[in-house]
Amino acid sequence: MQKLRIGIVGYGNVGRGAEKVVLAMPDMELCGVFTRRAPESISLLDSSVPVYSISQAENLKGKIDVMLLCGGSATDLAEQGPYFASMFNIVCSYDTHAKIPEYLEAVNAAATGNTAVISAGWDPGLFSMVRLMSEAILPDGLSYTFWGKGVSQGHSDAIRRIEGVKNAVQYTIPIGKAVNAVRSGHRPAFEARDKHLRECFVVAHKGADKSAIEHSIKSMPNYFADYDTTVNFIDEDELMANHTAMPHGGAVLHSGRTGENEHILEFSLKLDSNPEFTASVLAACARACYRFYLEGIYGAKTVFDIPFAYLSPKSRETLIKELL
Amino acid sequence: MQKLRIGIVGYGNVGRGAEKVVLAMPDMELCGVFTRRAPESISLLDSSVPVYSISQAENLKGKIDVMLLCGGSATDLAEQGPYFASMFNIVCSYDTHAKIPEYLEAVNAAATGNTAVISAGWDPGLFSMVRLMSEAILPDGLSYTFWGKGVSQGHSDAIRRIEGVKNAVQYTIPIGKAVNAVRSGHRPAFEARDKHLRECFVVAHKGADKSAIEHSIKSMPNYFADYDTTVNFIDEDELMANHTAMPHGGAVLHSGRTGENEHILEFSLKLDSNPEFTASVLAACARACYRFYLEGIYGAKTVFDIPFAYLSPKSRETLIKELL
């Protein structure tokens, strides 16, 4: 079988995860990493894989089957998604929930002869599929999504923008009591603070007013004001030693009913490395993306459009025999 | 929107579950129940729904969009699947794992101008999808399936065939220690007896040799010999009072790796009523079945062929906005 020729755009956390994941997939070949930095400044796990400047990508048209876009949603993807979709099949994990329809529209317009699978991580992505499936099966029900324990990049960034803050890491932590209340079938109604705690580890600049920083964090609207938030001041060494790993996880629970009978569906993830797992989902979706492309199904797709068989390199017959 | 016109074939546990579920689905209309029994002997939840003899089904061609086949795999479906697929779109939960390829072949050959979704319950069905997805995302990993606590009809039947047994119910019970061993990321290797216990409640005929019955159960190959099995003799009243509910459930766990990082995916079900939940899955798959049919995609399909959006009555735009 011909291997799927993969390119990676962006060499941050997810990009490095994608490199590791694609090199390990037996049905994939890593054909290049594309970066905005100076290519010679980057050394890959496999030194035989070329590093290109993003501007060189157009020269690789037809030589890469699927590009995994590994940039951030806030800054990179809004621009890179449509740009790369005009030249290549792409998969990305665009995760700014509120702007997905707009992003999908833009990518779809660009992907006239290519296929794009967008928002394909674990949330949006796998969790979205579980929410859809649960609601379709048990419409008399409620879905609950919990995130963590894990680092929220957005919340960490928000703290870093406060005056006097040198560095910060914020953990989102699901509240066990809330998870158990859903499991019990009671369909509780929650406020934001009932579901998640926010725990912050902050390195302050020398001489900064720590109580002012703590107040700024705890009163920050949208990010922290609606949650029970704890703030711990630590030094940079401790932050680097104990808070640079990237575990994450979470759960979708659906509590539904058929008449008087209660049913609970629960899907949970416990991830040692959020970026490597996200990259693994992107890689599986690259198979589906290319299958669509070969069938002439172009434009922007989401995980809701993908038949599960398309995620696997195995034949339909093998899947039915081994996994059904 | 035109409602999906549903028929139900077979009025056992799953058939009654399907009746309840379909009557509650806002996008569906129950158009008839088909039985091998005398139609007048059956009274439905909604007396305005007609009950037909199975032999009358051919007169309803074109008046029912999807038939939910609710008979048992062992006896009914092998025959009813191809028969009904030649006249209607069908959905069934055929669950004799080893014979699925053969059954699929037979249904596919019959469904020349119709669409059939087979093996669409929770295992095979939802659990199969989680196994496929997990393996596609984390191929360096192992999936583990646990069933229960719940009644196994096949094992209960096997006990009932033993001489001296009047009635019996068998519970399959997952062993918590095994589930936790998988959650810990150690990828343990299990024998059958490490994963599940078998607990039997048996009503013996008057004067029957209970120790002979117990020995017959515990030494029965395939069914019990490879498990730690407990046998409790009770009277018929206690069996009827305490062991006729049909809760079930189970979990699929996948323990996978990206290099040195461990990831655990877990999907679990806790069901008050196994037949009503199975019927709910059949109903959701009926939407997909009819979508395929409208697109001219005929023949036998499985859950691996279904894009998730097809399970829902909502538009793609709404799904993306609300659930992605």
Q: What whole-number percentage of chain B has pLDDT above 90?
A: 95
Helical pair B274-294 and A126-137, crossing angle rounded to 10 deg: 100
Cβ count near A113 (within 10 Å): 12
Q: Is B132 exposed, middle or buried (0-12, 13-18, 19+ CB in 10 A)?
A: buried
Considering CB atoms only, which of B136, B273, B311 is closest to A132?
B311
B59: which DSSP letter? G
Helical pair B78-85 and B100-110, crossing angle rounded to 10 deg: 30
Most B CBs within 10 A among A4, A261, A268, A322, hence the mutation to make, goes to A261
Tell me the ipTM for this assembly: 0.95
Residue A130's SS3 state is helix
Contact status of B258 with chain A (Cβ, < 8 Å): yes
What confidence category does residue B72 fall into, taking pLDDT thresholds of 50, 70 and 90? confident
Cβ count near B259 (within 10 Å): 15
Residue A74 has pLDDT above 80, yes or no: no
E strand segments, chain B: 4-9, 28-35, 51-53, 66-69, 89-92, 115-117, 141-147, 150-151, 165-174, 196-204, 228-233, 248-258, 261-271, 299-301
Contact status of B108 with chain A (Cβ, < 8 Å): no
Residue A249 has pLDDT above 90, yes or no: yes
Considering CB atoms only, which of A128, A130, A258 is closest to B273?
A258
Please indicate whether, in this complex, the C-beta atoms of B136 and A273 are within 8 angstroms of each other: no
Interatomic CA distance for residues B2 and B8, integer angstroms = 19
User: Please, what's the b/e burial string for B201-229 (b: 16 or more CB within 10 A of its CB; e: otherwise)?
Assistant: bbbbeeebeeeebbebbbebeebbeebeb
Considering CB atoms only, which of B183, B308, B317 is closest to A303?
B308
pLDDT tens digits for A129-147? 999 999 999 999 999 999 9
Please indicate whether, in this complex, the C-beta atoms of B324 and A97 are within 8 angstroms of each other: yes
A62: which DSSP letter? T
Please indicate whether, in this complex, the C-beta atoms of B101 and A321 are within 8 angstroms of each other: yes
Please indicate whether, in this complex, the C-beta atoms of A272 and B284 are within 8 angstroms of each other: no
What confidence category does residue B290 fall into, taking pLDDT thresholds of 50, 70 and 90? very high
What confidence category does residue A124 fall into, taking pLDDT thresholds of 50, 70 and 90? very high
pLDDT tens digits for A261-295? 999 999 999 999 999 999 999 999 999 999 999 99
Interatomic CA distance for residues B86 and A101, integer angstroms = 41
The DSSP result for B15-38, as a single string, is HHHHHHHHHH-TTEEEEEEEESS-
Distance of CA A314 to the CA centre of its chain: 25
Across A13-17, A73-77, A242-246, A277-281, least confident range: A73-77
pLDDT at A97: 87
Residues A105-133 have a mean pLDDT of: 97
pLDDT at A207: 96
Residues B125-153 have a mean pLDDT of: 96
pLDDT at B74: 77
Contact A116, A293 (CB under 8 A): no
What confidence category does residue B243 fall into, taking pLDDT thresholds of 50, 70 and 90? very high
Q: Which residue has the tokens 């607990």?
A: B199
**Chains A & B: contacts with CB separation below 8 Å:** 201
User: H/E element holding A67?
Assistant: strand A66-69
Residues B158-164 have a mean pLDDT of: 95
pLDDT tens digits for B173-184? 999 999 999 999
Contact status of B271 with chain A (Cβ, < 8 Å): yes
Please indicate whether, in this complex, the C-beta atoms of B263 and A269 are within 8 angstroms of each other: yes
What confidence category does residue B248 fall into, taking pLDDT thresholds of 50, 70 and 90? very high
Residues A304-312 have a mean pLDDT of: 98
User: Please, what's the b/e burial string for B144-174 (b: 16 or more CB within 10 A of its CB; e: otherwise)?
Assistant: bbbbbbbbbeebbebbeebeebebbbbbbbb
Q: Which residue has the tokens 């086949």?
A: B69
> pTM for the whole thing?
0.95
Residue A5's SS3 state is strand
pLDDT at B268: 98
Token readout for B156 is: 């209960």
What confidence category does residue A219 fall into, taking pLDDT thresholds of 50, 70 and 90? very high
Token readout for A223 is: 């990010």
Please indicate whether, in this complex, the C-beta atoms of B265 and A269 are within 8 angstroms of each other: yes
Interatomic CA distance for residues A68 and A29, integer angstroms = 13
pLDDT at A259: 95
pLDDT at B7: 98
Residue A186's SS3 state is coil
pLDDT at A37: 94
Residues of A in contact with B104 (CB under 8 A): 320
Residue B219 has pLDDT above 90, yes or no: yes
Residue A297 has pLDDT above 80, yes or no: yes
Interatomic CA distance for residues B63 and B65, integer angstroms = 7
Sign of CA dihedral A286, A287, A288, A290: positive
Residue A231's SS3 state is strand
pLDDT tens digits for A152-210? 888 999 999 999 999 999 999 999 999 999 999 989 999 999 999 999 999 999 999 99
Residues B113-125 have a mean pLDDT of: 97
Token readout for A222 is: 């949208």
Interatomic CA distance for residues A97 and A107, integer angstroms = 15
